[in-house]
Amino acid sequence: MPKIFDRVAVESWQRDEVIQKFPREGLGDIKLGSQLIVNPGETAVFVRGGEAMGTFTPGRHTLTTENLPILTNLFEAGLFGGANVFTADVYFVKTTDLTLKWGTVNPIIVEHPQRMPGASAIVGNGTYVTKVKDPWRFLNAMDAFRPSVRFQEIKTRLDPMLAIMISDKMSELAIAKGLGPAQLQSFTKDMNEMLVGLLQEEFDAIGMVLVDFAINMSLHPDSLKVVTNMGYGTSYVQMQQADALMAAASNPSGGALSEVGFGAMGMAAMQQQQMQQQLMQQQFAAQQAAQAGAAPAPGAAPAAGTPPTAPAGGAPAPMPDVMTPEQAAEFLQVTPQDVIAAIEAGDLNAKKIGSAYRISKASLESFLNS
């Protein structure tokens, strides 16, 4: 039989404990008129059936239907058998500052499509201070409806969340401010403060407030190698050429076509000529092979719809961790337009940075397996 309580309070906190449930184990009935004691630096949240019944700040409270109005309906419905008691879980949440150490395990990718090579790899380490602002939202975000939650459990959940937040917000900042590797290398205090402002929106969503942020961010020593291996660089040049061509074509003044337009058009023309020459060579090789009754010569174009094969004795090119629609199209053996159509239809997950899409290896593999 559940114990009936006429006093609700945390008698003692365990070391590094952030959340404590009352009663700590099992269920307990709480008598109407009981005393609730919330100490400084705590907030008490009454929960029943997955819903918040009421939240109490520090002080001594007499539990009545006035400060827990939901009880009125519950008593009238006869849920407690007419007795002057009710059943609820009470979660005490510490609202004092939490100081956490943080450092990047893997480089954070910051995308800046407007600056070569299209992305940078960032590393960082330091400390940040946060505290609970909205206990009910915090309990849900941390999935913390347990008898006891320790500091390390909160840190384990916050660390990867912070990495994602920093990646997203630094990409937004880089695009909005036109930043590239050079600017990110000299990450200044002003930029740090701007990042804090952007991160605060994300912390609000999990019921917390960012009190202090002392994490030093810098360019990874092999940033260019890291992002090139992920497929950045070449796609950046292609996108810049296309943007320059579009800008030149839409500019009515002949003089304005000038350097950027003619330069991009010249590069595009050279690329087109090279592609035509390649195609002619491949077609000629295929014709020669067909006439000789042999297999197509090395480098000959495969038949339409035939997946590309690896060179003799070689392994297929590995799929990069992050791809452009063009790169994804090569692996899927479709056109880039087909890839974009799948993205816009919601069938293929992708991230849009500015006007460009980026597709993760995991998203493409999931799409292939669906």
pLDDT of residue 312: 46
pLDDT of residue 19: 97
* DSSP assignment string, 6-67: EEE----PPTTEEEEEESSSS-EEEEEEEEEEE-TTEEEEEEETTEEEEEE-SEEEE--TTT
pLDDT of residue 49: 86
pLDDT of residue 254: 46
pLDDT of residue 270: 46
In CATH, what class is 98-137+148-229? alpha beta
pLDDT of residue 179: 84
pLDDT of residue 260: 39
pLDDT of residue 124: 87
Rounded to two decimals, what is the model's pTM? 0.60
* Amino acid sitting at position 127: T
Q: How many Cα atoms occupy the beta-carbon half-sphere of 285 within 13 Å?
A: 14
Q: Cα–Cα distance between 323 and 346 in angstroms, integer? A: 17
Q: Which mean pLDDT values do the consecutive 10-residue runs of the chain (370 residues) have?
A: 83 93 86 94 93 95 90 70 81 96 88 85 91 96 94 91 87 85 76 82 93 87 88 60 54 45 41 45 51 48 44 60 84 85 87 78 84
Domain ranges of the chain: 3-94, 98-137+148-229
Write the CA distances from 105 to 142, 159, 192, integer angstroms: 21, 10, 20
Q: Which of 217, 168, 221, 219 is nearest to 188 (CA)?
A: 217
**Which sign does the torsion angle of CA 52, 160, 174, 245 carry?**
negative
pLDDT of residue 292: 57
Q: Cα–Cα distance between 237 and 117 in angstroms, integer? A: 8
